[in-house]
Structure 1
């Protein structure tokens, strides 16, 4: 009897850790924001630009990052990416001025940019189609559950050891993990631990071998970019990702400062309160992924099963505007949690990259998808910095709510039937 392995679940656990470290290193600055702005004498506009620096670099690096993800071996490329962004994180702990910190945030954005296209490619390689939404939900939940439990820890580290120690510790963890990843990861056909039965399950279920030199994946030409930039369905998910990103980027940048400076919470209280919406988002993304896969297994069309949780989630995200009308910490946290639960529901959107993208261009399509979504990381923090100049955060919250509504509309009116775009 042939032994059936479940190596793919170990791979998924490793991607989960990648995501936790990724989001820890992009969001640790939000925990330190109040102390950094005080020590370095930074006003809200400079803080807005500082928050946006990561998003600017991350977004504009997505297309080249996705292109490299199609050409290079995931094992070494991912390890290098983790090591580089982690080293830049450590160096942040030494800065004494705005410009150097701004440059480091740009570098972290560049080095993290290939990570999600690679995550999507790994899941597409390792999982059959009917397990893909739940797999994407599990690794995506790393950005929420990691921050839910880590935010109070990071706040405590800063409280007792200072904001510089925050960067030393989080960056050091990433350096160690980057080396572990390189030793651990293999593609399915290169793995010595996978059984023939599991490999057949993956291949028969639609797992795609899109490694370099497979199916012409490495033969880039400008027509490829034209395909992924002119298709209406793909633009539907791109704009949807921008709307989704507006909410999450608020939570990753301005949220802790919002609680402290605009809702009157102290640092430790804000750390615990800030963690609660991330827990709600964690449950949202898991519920979304497993319900979506269950609907597919029970015969629902991919159009219904994949789009429904995303649209419902984006509509729920608009409820963030309720925080404008309350000041009590409980009710502020309530509206933020409902909105971020919706953001979690919508966060399986990467499954539509797997289902819609030309199979030869998974990395490139994922790069464009994350590029458009990442533009929110550039636009939203800076826009909030300007909107709150007068001391009122309400216009900024309304701005985030409207962008979530725009994202829902793009999935409703642009995506249409879920079916793979052909390269032609």
Structure 2
């Protein structure tokens, strides 16, 4: 049995299969648009702050306002999606995302800006739980991690595309036009999903009978039943994983939302050049994610062996950027290293979490860990805005870096304990 497991080939994406071409690709595009509309405010923030006369602390509140809504909608949306409404949730939320993103382009005061960001967060917070239901419905158990990993690629990739595109639109027109133009794809995607995707493979008339039967026969293999929240809260490991993701997400969103402002402070360049420079760290993150994910799959080592060094390197680079003054080029190189390494193991994260928690607690455990990560997204951007000094927005990144190093240390401890436990079981 052991030999068979070692020689078993990992699943691959085959776009000739309908589940990948008709569900995997649309969900990838959907999440790409979500992250673009979530983070394009980062490039517009200097112009927005100047016109509305907002301080760095006020912009930190604007960045975090998205997560006020995000943390509220996830669990109710997951419950509603489980009742057979996942596709409806995604379609409706994409329309709301388009409207809220467009509203950001016409705001003229601080309260309306905050309201637009909260509504955007409410809509996007419902998307991923609905995605999870679609993944379970449409993909065999052994392919589900690959489907989630494909979706995770949108996180750095959307930022890499969004930054130069947003900068170009701002230079071509203005920041208001940028928000309105980039809001349109969300509504177009909603229309596409409505007509192209079905809730379940059983409802899709264009799916071949062989593929439909294969999906239905294999999608419940090793799928865990839900557990109570009390059972989840009683497990110390779940709390450690939640703490890791809190610090990790704090760093991800602090970098994603503040990086264009930091690069603008360092270089003094215009929106287009800042956008092009901002794309570099996220492109590095996309490449690093691919390399680390592929290496982890082929080596057979524990995923924690790859996760800890990646996020640890990001935290170290943040500290170096703050405490070592070797000029603009060095600071930019550390920002590239920070962003590139913080995304490198993101596609491995949820697979590792689901390997650690008991199968009968997987659903509730993942939901709780994700919720804590969302709170990290709320705290990170706000913290940078509160501690930033005039003309040096990056001055607060060292605090986030310390948190990420703590996360790396926790991953090492959890992974070491898990490795010892597995070795003990094999020796018995």
Residue 115 in structure 1 maps to residue 113 in structure 2: no
User: Is residue 56–residue 109 contact of structure 1 (8 Å, CA) maintained in 2?
Assistant: yes
Structure 1 residue 193 corresponds to structure 2 residue 201: no
Question: Is 1:61 equivalent to 2:58 in the alignment?
Answer: no
Matching of residues 23-422 of structure 1 within 5 Å: 23-186=35-198, 187-199=200-212, 201-202=214-215, 207=220, 224-295=228-299, 300=300, 304-318=301-315, 319-324=317-322, 325-326=324-325, 328-348=327-347, 349-355=349-355, 364-389=364-389, 391-393=391-393, 395-414=395-414, 416-417=417-418
Structure 2 vs 1, CA of residues 282 and 173 (structure 1 numbering), >3 Å: closer, same or farther?
same
Q: Are 2:28 and 1:16 aligned? A: yes
Aligned counterparts of 1:292 and 1:259: Cα–Cα separation in 2: 32
Distance 1:357 1:126 in 2: 23
Displacement, 1:54? 0.7
User: Structure 1 144/6 Cα, relative in aligned 2: closer, same or farther at 3 Å?
Assistant: same
**Deviation, structure 1 residue 395:** 4.3
Alpha-carbon displacement from aligned partner over 1:304-335 (angstroms, at most 9, x marks no partner): 44323322221121123332335655433322
Q: How far apart are the structure 1 equivalents of 2:414 and 2:72?
A: 24
* CA distance in 1 between partners of 2:326 and 2:272 (Å): 18
- TM-superposed CA distance for 1:150, in Å, is 2.4
Instruction: Please list the CA deviations of residues 260-303 of structure 1 after superposition, one character each: whole Å capped at 9, or x if unmatched.
Output: 135533322211110001101111222233333434xxxx4xxx
Q: Deviations over 1:88-146 (max 9, x none)?
A: 11111111000110111111111100222233333344334444444322211112112
Per-residue CA distance 1:58-85 (angstroms, 9 max, x = gap): 1243333333333342111111111112
Choose between structure 1 and 2 for higher RCO, CA contacts under 8 A separated by at least 6 residues: 1
Residue 5 to residue 93, structure 1, CA distance change in 2 (3 Å): closer
Look up the SS of the partner of 2:31 in the other structure.
helix
Contact 1:66 1:366 in 2 (8 A): no
Q: Is the 8 A contact 1:244 1:347 kept in 2?
A: no
CA distance in 2, matches of 1:417, 1:138: 26
- Alignment partners' CA distance in 1, 2:210 and 2:96: 37
Any stretches of 5+ residues in structure 1 without a counterpart? 218-222, 420-424
- C-alpha change, 1:323 and 1:167, in structure 2 (3 Å) is same
Aligned residues between the structures: 400
- 1:378-398: per-residue Cα shift (whole Å, max 9, x none)? 111111112114554454121
Give the corresponding residue for 1:6.
Answer: 17
TM-score by length of 2: 0.84
Greater shift after overlay, 194-203 or 175-184? 194-203
Q: Which runs of 5+ in 2 are unaligned?
A: 1-14, 422-428
What secondary structure is seen at the aligned counterpart in 1 of 2:207? coil
Per-residue deviation, 1:179: 1.4
